[in-house]
Amino acid sequence: MVVETDFLVIGSGMAGLSCALKLARQGTVGVVTKKEKAESNTNYAQGGIAAVIDPADSFTKHVQDTLDAGDGLCHREAVELIVREGPGRVKELAEIGVDFTRKENGHLDLGREGGHHINRIVHVKDHTGRDVENALLEAVKNEPRITIYENHSAIDLITEHHLFTSLEATDQLHCWGAYVLDDQTARVKRFIARATILASGGCGQVYLHSTNPSIATGDGIAMAYRAGGRIANMEFMQFHPTSLYHSEANSFLISEAVRGFGGRLVTQDGQSFMEKYHPMASLAPRDIVARAIDTELKKSGAPCVFLDITHKNAEEIKNRFPHIYQNCLNYKIDITQEPIPVVPAAHYICGGVQTDLDAATSLSGLFACGEVTCTGVHGANRLASNSLLEAVVFGHLAAESAMRFVANQGRKSPAIPPWDDSGTFNSEEWVLLSHDRMEIKNIMWDYVGIVRSNLRLERALNRLRLIGQEVENFYRRTRVTTELIELRNLATVAMLIVRSALLRKESRGLHYTTDYPRRDDEHFQSDTVLEKQVI
């Protein structure tokens, strides 16, 4: 089956949906999403959107806070771009129905999080992502040119290597859409588009403990790499310092806004410890807080530290953090009366598919926005609440660029062959491969976590190579399923993270290695770029 559309958007989070709404001005849009349309990292985002709203704030201050958090690796022009565009994009979200929290005087209630020197987080209490996602879905529902394909899993981008076309080393690769599995019919469809936008989110599920939903398996990053796209800075995985430590909580995120509200990180005996690690104490950037917690846990042998907000007014806590309050209460933790047990968990990948300031990738006709990308904004560590800001700004830029591309190119795609699954079969040995997913997650957590070493990374690389070969062999002789697609992508992304980490022989931001504990600007103040040769 063939689905033809002017624009194909892969992913239905904030970046993808905001992009799709703008693309619909110029043509038809197909949005492919592997699960329910509201399931995304956006939906899990509690904190908010960083933007310069307060007259006491300035673009210069927001830029500087972002550069400081990025530890010397941010691209200043990219940072200046999203900061400058931020207020306008926030205004657009309000216009489509996002009811941002306001004070009694009607002004926006601006929160503060780690790394920010001023209150600038626009939010909807502690469920900003959910409200933004719902508003975008409602707007999309009212746009007849947009079709959302739920339960559709993208397998691979369609490029020259599917056409068996020979390429010279100087030729640019092109993207004409994607092969996509319809989970309900088990058929692979050809989605052919004049421009394709990757907005498939991150890869937190490559780690054992993650705040991400189960769908965050790095699909877009893996597909772009296999197609020959440039991937950058995969060594910079951000571990959120505070996920709920509870056997049944599944790494539930405790927003950084809790610390911005006055929460203090303390040990089991109630001693505050962040003052030892950074002048901003509990409001230090995430990489510093996560490493500090990791150090405290290793020193004490304790399973967790605690986030204490009991000194604040109980009603104010409930009003500001209703989602967190109720979820903790479900696990018999009253955050107004007792500190919250917390541990770090994999949260956000600062690397991804490399784009320019127009959201264009190294493949002609392929654009990208959101967590799947490396735009240069986050550098070696993302500043809190810059993720939703980047998503909505680059979602806008991707739409503008894709529309220009289609208007200027006017190209027609070549004849795209149907998906070939001849010689494959439904394997009854899937149970043998299902263990590989858990093995990948354990390897990454044990050897490629908050603190790394050459020995750990080399051990991880050796094991991941074997798993990757096993998965690829299985993939080539078995009919595709969503589980197999995700496993293949997880294996690819895990390898990219480890290879990138081994190339960076220094400690910077989120990448800390005991073999090279200092930052080395002379040799490593540049992006780590990986590119698969597909010629």
List active site positions: 286
Which region holds residue 117: left if phi is over 0, alpha if psi is between -120 and 50, else beta? alpha
- b/e string for 211-243 if b means 16 or more Cβ within 10 A? bbbebbbbbbbbbbbbbbbbbbbbbbbbbbbbb
343, 201 contact by CB (below 8 A): no
Structure token pair of residue 282: 């509990």
CA distances from 141 to 20, 24, 147, 233 (A): 11, 12, 9, 36
Contacts of residue 175, Cβ cutoff 8 Å, sequence gap at least 6: 157, 158, 159, 196, 227, 363, 364, 365, 366
Residue 477's Cβ-count burial label (10 Å; 0-12, 13-18, 19+) is exposed
211, 507 contact by CB (below 8 A): no
Q: How far is CA 318 from the centre of its chain?
A: 28
Q: How far is CA 490 from the centre of its chain?
A: 14
314, 336 contact by CB (below 8 A): yes
DSSP string, 208-261: SSBSS-TT-S-HHHHHHHHTT-EEE-TT-EEEEEEEE--TTS-S-B--THHHHT
Give a three-class secondary structure readout of 316-350.
HHHHHCHHHHHHHHHCCCCCCCCCEEEEEEEEEEC
Please, what's the largest Cα pairwise distance for the chain?
68
Q: Could you tell me how many residues make up the chain? A: 535
Residue 159's Cβ-count burial label (10 Å; 0-12, 13-18, 19+) is buried
Among candidate residues 308, 305, 302, the one with its CA nearest the CA of residue 338: 308
Among candidate residues 532, 528, 530, the one with its CA nearest the CA of residue 233: 528
Contacts of residue 452, Cβ cutoff 8 Å, sequence gap at least 6: 501, 511, 512, 513, 514
Among candidate residues 441, 264, 454, 248, the one with its CA nearest the CA of residue 340: 264
Residue 68's Cβ-count burial label (10 Å; 0-12, 13-18, 19+) is middle
Strand ranges (E), 448-507: none
* Rounded-to-5 percentages of helix, strand, coil across the chain: 40, 20, 45
Q: How far is CA 24 from the centre of its chain?
A: 25
